[in-house]
Amino acid sequence: MLKIGITGGIGSGKTTVCRVFEILGIPVFNADVIAKSIMVTDAFLISSIKREFGEEAYLPNNELNRSYLANKVFNNQEELKKLNSLVHPVTIKAFIDWSLQQKSAYVIKEAAILFESGSYRDCDFVIVVTSPEEIRIKRVKNREGVSEENVRSRMSKQMPEKEKTELADFIIINDDKTAIIPQVLKLNEYFNSISRTTPSISE
């Protein structure tokens, strides 16, 4: 079964594009959502995080102490790297276990930091969703009611879009002018056609 990665910068439209694939019956694994869930359910990961960041990383009811951890990793690349190095292997394993249960011709892994985490290496192809910076800022401001400064600050911590598109196998343009459905249909047709003849990277 082919594994397709989907990534892109904040507000580019990754989740929106994935919804279209889901409507076509393609299972989508949202790595960011799953990682958040694993951080409060995987006993080994919880104890590793507590060991590295202190017992305060979790609240008494075992919820993640998000503000405490955010303070630790915000503007501290080393601490962020440390946290990611604990969470990523568990998320990668969850993706592999999940994909083994799927019956479709291909599956999708949606991840904001697919390249940065190295998990693009487990994908047969990577799609990068792109959108001009001004549009992405407008979308995130509307979605979250935050300031332009807030969005720009988060953007500045991400891999630049140009670097992502250079690493992409396919690009989906989501610029409010180009329709995304025909782009998704074309890729769906391609992945369905090659899945019959191409073994996955992990097979």
- Give least dist CB 179 to ligand ATP, A: 8
The residue among 63 and 175 lying less far from ligand ATP, judged by its C-beta, is 175
Reference 126, options 11, 23, 203, 17; nearest CA is: 17
- Give least dist CB 201 to ligand ATP, A: 24
The residue among 16 and 150 lying less far from ligand ATP, judged by its C-beta, is 16
Q: Which residues are CB-contacts of 163 (< 8 A; sequence separation ≥ 6)? A: 115
- Give least dist CB 61 to ligand ATP, A: 26
Cβ burial 141-153 (10 Å sphere, 16+ → b, else e): eeeeeeeeeebee
The residue among 57 and 88 lying less far from ligand ATP, judged by its C-beta, is 88
The residue among 46 and 87 lying less far from ligand ATP, judged by its C-beta, is 87
Binding site residue list: 11-16
CB 79 within 8 A of CB 73: yes
* Helix, strand, coil fractions of the chain, as percent rounded to 5: 60, 15, 30
- Contact set with ligand ATP (CB under 6 A): 8, 10-16, 112, 139-140, 143, 174, 176, 180
CB 173 within 8 A of CB 131: yes
Binding site residue list for ATP: 11-16
**Residue type for 39, please?**
M
- Give least dist CB 183 to ligand ATP, A: 11
Within 10 Å of residue 3's Cβ, how many Cβ atoms?
A: 23
